[in-house]
Amino acid sequence: MTYAIVIHEPGGPEALQWQEVAMPQPQGDQVLIRQIAVGLNFIDVYHRMGYYKLKQLPAIIGSEGAGEVVAVGPDCQLGYVPGQRVCYAGGPMGGYAQHRVIPERWLVGIPDNLSFELAAGVMAKGLTAHYLLKRTFYVDPNTTMLVHAAAGGVGLLLCQWGKILGATVIGTVGSDEKAELARKNGCEYPINYNTEDFVERVRDVTGGRKCNVVYDSVGADTFMRSLDCLMNFGLMVSYGQSSGPAPAIDMGELQKRGSLFCTRPSLEHYIQDPTEYIIGATAILQLVAEGKVRVNVKQSYYLKDAARAHADLEARKTTGATIFFTEA
């Protein structure tokens, strides 16, 4: 037997229940992993509360982890062997568990100098930063970008990587401490949006030019004013909704503000192609292994305390990445 966090009914953090479950057996192209560390992502909150519907109940949520291969299914072809250190993000849910099975295409080997904690803390957020900076919009030294929730998990990676690519990085955050953290991670102009008007500050720091691209994961509270931070033909990337869903938008608002573009992307689509997935994963793991990007695992919990971690994430108490230790 092994343990997992199981959801019987969607709801608040208390819906996350630690219980004994049967040891999964790898079928077909599946690999059984003993997970050492598991990543927490805001999408886990949407799944827990039922905002994104779970296909069946009871359910084990979670889409990111790192651990060791225990056994491989009869149809596996990629050569994974027991004891190998692997990580993943995406694929079928089931991450909040000491042991899980997952199709082998989702596995990536962990570089020797990277811990399980860092691998579990960076895969999903790093793949997200990769597609946002390289594929949704191609960031280069001519780019001025605005990152909301800049001290968050994805936010700190966008700031660091944006700076590496030569962009001017402006970020919004909810406190002065978070502003300092964002600054240390490549955000040249952190703005505390609880005390400053971020649209005015963006105008100030860009000398009125505004931004080529806004990365908005906050949604309801920031979406409309984010549009005011874009220059003509700028791209609004609404990639999350930590404060609630972004409003429905009248296309005329995009025209009025300067022939703007707008997209609502999802990591799921950007990693559907296995080659694109491996390209993104390799890029982020290499940057971390070479010490060019810091993972900033700022919180860790035991998996059995997942409810507390969810409450902290929703209460905006966390910065950077959060991971769970499974004690497996």
Judged by the rule CB under 6 A, the positions of this chain that interact with ligand NAP are 41-43, 125, 128, 149, 151-155, 173-174, 178, 217-218, 221, 239-243, 265-267, 313-314, 316, 318
39 in Cβ contact with 56 (< 8 Å):
no
**58 preceded by a cis bond (ω within 30 of 0):** yes
Q: How far apart are CA 304 and CA 234, in angstroms?
A: 44
Cβ nearer to ligand NAP, comparing 259 with 263? 263
**Min CB(150)–ligand NAP separation in Å:** 7
Cβ nearer to ligand NAP, comparing 173 with 211? 173
User: How is the beta sheet containing 168-173 ordered, strand by strand?
Assistant: 189-192, 168-173, 144-147, 211-216, 230-238, 261-263
| Residue 129 backbone dihedrals phi, psi, to 5 degrees | -60, -40
Name the residue type at position 153: G
**Min CB(92)–ligand NAP separation in Å:** 17
**Planar angle of CA 318, 321, 322, nearest 5 degrees:** 70
Cβ nearer to ligand NAP, comparing 14 with 177? 177
**Min CB(269)–ligand NAP separation in Å:** 8
Cβ nearer to ligand NAP, comparing 136 with 282? 136
The tokens describing 306, both together, are 């997942």
**Min CB(153)–ligand NAP separation in Å:** 3
**Min CB(137)–ligand NAP separation in Å:** 14
Q: What DSSP string runs through 182-217?
A: HHHTT-SEEEETTTS-HHHHHHHHTTT--EEEEEE-
Closest Cα to residue 102, out of 117, 123, 118?
123
**Min CB(196)–ligand NAP separation in Å:** 13
Cβ nearer to ligand NAP, comparing 43 with 102? 43
Cβ nearer to ligand NAP, comparing 89 with 101? 89
**Among all chains, which residue has been given the structure tokens 């994104």?**
52
Q: Which residue is nearest to ligand NAP, using beta carbons?
A: 152
**Min CB(22)–ligand NAP separation in Å:** 30
Cβ nearer to ligand NAP, comparing 14 with 176? 176
Dihedral sign of CA atoms 273, 165, 65, 289 in order: positive
CA 260 from centroid of its chain's CA atoms: 25
What angle, rounded to 10 degrees, do the helices at 306-314 and 42-49 form? 100
